[in-house]
Structure 1
Amino acid sequence: MKNRTKKWAGILFLFPSLVFSQTSAPTLQELINSALANDGTLNEQILQNKITHLDDEKLKDVFLPKVDISGQASYLYTSAHFTTPQFNIPAIPNLFPGLTIPEGGNSLNISGISTMAKAEASLLLYSGGKVKYLKEANREKNLSEQKLMEKSKDDVVTSISKAYDTFALLEESRKVLDESKKRLDINRKTADKALGYGLITPYDHKKIELAQATLDSKIVEYEGKKQLLMTQLEVLTGIDRTRIAAIQPILKPISYALINENIDNRAEIQALEHGIKASEYKIEAEKKWWVPKVQAQTSLSYFGLYDNHISTSKDLLQGFNSKLDLNPSNLNIFPLFQAGVGFKWDIFDGNEGKSAVEGAKINKEILENKKRDAQKKLKLNLANNQTNYDIANAQITLKEKAKNIAKLALENVEKEFRYGTKKSSDLIDAENDLQTAELDYQTAIYNQRRSAIELMKATQNLDINKL
């Protein structure tokens, strides 16, 4: 009874933590990890890389012995036609007068149930050096695929971080709209009193109502964008929508200083370099087409002929009753053993080897051209991202100043509106200016984060811990 009580007490103790883990908001790291696990492109690359590993195993298994066992049972019938030449048998005095056997045609017929069994083992001793280079080519191919997977991972991180920052931007926008709504509600009460005292016209009062309706429509638009973003994150990550709704990220600028301007670390360049090396090894492998291949081989065979009939169509000797007509019970040949070393040397293969070498060389040239083109584009991309990052930082400073000025202007207009020296249109204009300035400031931070992430990617230095 005591043990059962302790057991339930332990379950009740763990229950709050289990509920919390199922309802707590996912972190950016969790969102990225889930998206990486669900990304179709990355999973396809992983499966393709598994095929490359299988190809590597196949190359390793080339030098393993191969053993085949075969058997066959069938009805056998064969007929061999032959001609016996004329020949003379010399006479033996007082004993044999001599004899001339004329030329004649004959057929040897063999029929019966044949059985055959064979066990054969072979072992490749030397492949001409081709397998060695193919292994190296496959290794470089594997490294190239690994680099392409890194690029896909960076793309996933970029996509999720953008959605996460958009969520933060929407949350900040909602805060701005809520604050604006509070101020408008207060100013609406002031306008109601002013209308009752005849200090403002009904037209001015309607402008306040229109501003509130416009603000309500912006809040509805915000909710629609948030729901769409939640759906996007749910699809990309597979995380429950309830947990995603609890996300409350903070939008902060990313401080990043570009240390190394070398774009050779980019995954695309690294993948192409490994692809070029793989092509070089493939060229060397194809050049070995003419080198002899050596193989050891051994076999053990059995042959049997049952219920057989061996006969000739005519007499073996013309003029003699000498037809062959045998019915042996069976004929067995066992063991028939062979063992030795053989080689295959392709002296001329119809230019297949030469064409394969030329094809591998062309493939290498294609990859080299792609690398040169990628280097040009990535250098330009790096310069562009650095410029965008510098501009984005400057925009944050500018938009912050504009926000502070708009805030101060609204405070002054609100005071003058209460004293009746400003119209409702002035108040609404000042309110809209502050809304725009605050949203522009948050958007500037959002754009700065995007520029910083792209700058990190430009030199393959994307670090999740800095996001």
Structure 2
Amino acid sequence: MRLKLKVLLLALFIFGSIPAQEILTKQDAIEETLQNNFGIEIANNDLEIADNNKSILNSGYLPSLTGLAGANYNLEDQEVTFNDGSTSIVNGAETTQYNASLNLNYTLFDGLGRWYDYKSLKESYNLGELQARQTIETTILQLFSVYYEVARITENIEVLKQTFENTKTRLKRAGYAFDYGQVNKLEVLNAEVDIVTDSINLLNARQQLRNTKRDLTVVLNSDLERNFAVDTIVAFIGELQIETFIQKADTNNVRLLQARKNITISDYNYKASKSVYLPSVGLNGSYGWNKGEFPVTSFASSRTTTGFAAGLSLTWDLFDGGSGITNVKNLRIQKDTQQLLLKQIENEVKRDVANSNDAYQNRLEVFRLQEQNVVTASNNYERSQERYKLGQITSVELRQAQINLLNAKTNKNLAKYEAKLAELELLQLTGQLLNVDF
């Protein structure tokens, strides 16, 4: 009677009531990540800075307008000799002067430097978009590596529950059989040991699930103790579609797109640097007001002027000590370096796509084999149960068949999610991760 009470209490502890859980779908998880993830928010801030930098306000094409104002006061003792030889002495002569002006400066031509700088800033923004996309892709992969781990442990817990129930049924039957003298005490003891083992496995799996859910909430940037369940349904993309994605990887891979964008930026920077060889033409204008109050020693006691002024200037640095020429040479080398980096990345991407596709196909085949293994292990366990009831095998042999089934199911779960993650990694390399349904 005491044994039955212990088993009942243990079952109530393990299968106790679970509060209602929200279902966190894959699409919900993606949307929350895009809205709340810190890494993505930082990438969006960097992109906003790049957007500001490519504005016309940062292009150098707009004129500068400066307002100036000033006042001067002089107190002097003056002695003045006039042309007729007479002399005038003024002690404490005061002079006051006031001025105000608006000054306009505009560069009409600077050797095409700002033209290429402006184009470079626009391409830098496009590069920023690609960098933000790469951050999003990396974060989505991180999200699903944790999301699918939650799903895997969730399915494993269901398997462990079923194993626990089967062992509990076996313990109950062994207890009845022992009471009627049909089996010895060893059968009951074996069942008791097995049910404790199954209980511990289930408790550990539940703890692992709670920890992994917390990992997922960190990626989502949501409440750490949030109660939710995930979608355990996994669908794989068709082979023909995968093959199409692989063929277009050269034009969609984000690393390759960034490398090509860096070449364009380097080319613009190189062309902008050559503006050092050409003159610059500037336009300047001003509108000013000046007023002065002068002592008696001056030919005028006061003067006020207002008016416009304009001018055109040409500046040509014929030789700047060689720094401009050196900069042009270095930027040309940097442009060549970007070309080499592109070729290197092209080779790396081809290798990575091939390796990723091979890993995906291998894991997909492993998953299919594990599915078949579950069918085989299930048939073996069912037959072992029948033979155990007939007394043809021992409880140890039945337990082994039960463990084989448990391992087959958990291995199938692992293979399923490993294959799906391999597919997502392949989609990222082909540049299609953000273009498919999960």
Taking structure 2 as the reference length, the TM-score comes to: 0.84
- Give the letter aligned to residue 243 of structure 2: L
- The alignment's C-alpha RMSD in Å is 3.1
Cα offset, 1:447, TM superposition? 1.2
Cα offset, 1:58, TM superposition? 4.4
- In structure 2, the partner of 1:370 is 341
- Give the letter aligned to residue 270 of structure 1: L
- Give the letter aligned to residue 291 of structure 1: L
Deviations 1:436-456 (A, max 9, x none): 011111111111111111122
Which runs of no fewer than 5 residues in structure 2 stay unpaired?
Answer: 1-19, 80-84, 86-91
Deviations 1:384-421 (A, max 9, x none): 11111111121122212221221122112212222222
State whether residues 29 and 464 of structure 1, in contact with CA within 8 Å, keep that contact through their aligned partners in structure 2: no
Structure 2 residue 132 is the aligned partner of structure 1 residue 133: no
**2: distance between equivalents of 1:57 and 1:253?**
44
- In structure 1, the partner of 2:243 is 258
Structure 2 residue 130 is the aligned partner of structure 1 residue 147: yes
| 1:213 corresponds to which of 167, 184, 196 | 196
Residues 56-71 of structure 1 correspond to what in structure 2 (within 5 A)? Answer: 56-58=54-56, 62-71=60-69
- Give the letter aligned to residue 52 of structure 2: L
Cα offset, 1:271, TM superposition? 0.9
Secondary structure of 2:243's counterpart equals coil
Question: Relative to structure 2, which stretch is displaced further, 243-252 or 288-297?
Answer: 243-252
- In structure 1, the partner of 2:433 is 462
- Give the letter aligned to residue 129 of structure 1: L
Residues 66/132 of structure 1: CA separation in 2 closer, same or farther (3 Å cut): same
- In structure 2, the partner of 1:38 is 36
Secondary structure of 1:63's counterpart equals coil
State whether residues 23 and 242 of structure 1, in contact with CA within 8 Å, keep that contact through their aligned partners in structure 2: no
Which runs of no fewer than 5 residues in structure 1 stay unpaired?
Answer: 1-21, 82-100, 102-108, 311-325
Give 1 or 2 for the bigger CA radius of gyration. Answer: 1
| 1:282 corresponds to which of 269, 285, 301 | 269
Cα offset, 1:179, TM superposition? 1.3
**1: distance between equivalents of 2:305 and 2:222?**
70
Residues 5-404 of structure 1 correspond to what in structure 2 (within 5 A)? Answer: 24-58=22-56, 62-76=60-74, 112-239=95-222, 245-256=228-239, 257-259=242-244, 260-264=246-250, 265-306=252-293, 308-309=294-295, 326=297, 330-335=301-306, 337-404=308-375
Deviations 1:367-397 (A, max 9, x none): 3333233222221111111111111121122
Cα offset, 1:459, TM superposition? 1.1
State whether residues 21 and 228 of structure 2, in contact with CA within 8 Å, keep that contact through their aligned partners in structure 1: no
Secondary structure of 2:232's counterpart equals coil
Secondary structure of 1:250's counterpart equals coil
State whether residues 279 and 360 of structure 1, in contact with CA within 8 Å, keep that contact through their aligned partners in structure 2: yes
- In structure 2, the partner of 1:409 is 380
Deviations 1:317-346 (A, max 9, x none): xxxxxxxxx277833251354222222221
- Give the letter aligned to residue 61 of structure 2: F
Taking structure 1 as the reference length, the TM-score comes to: 0.79
Q: How many residues are matched?
A: 408
State whether residues 32 and 157 of structure 1, in contact with CA within 8 Å, keep that contact through their aligned partners in structure 2: yes
Deviations 1:264-317 (A, max 9, x none): 2200110110111011011000100232222222223344333x447xxxxxxx
**2: distance between equivalents of 1:391 and 1:76?**
92
State whether residues 385 and 454 of structure 1, in contact with CA within 8 Å, keep that contact through their aligned partners in structure 2: yes
State whether residues 373 and 408 of structure 2, in contact with CA within 8 Å, keep that contact through their aligned partners in structure 1: yes
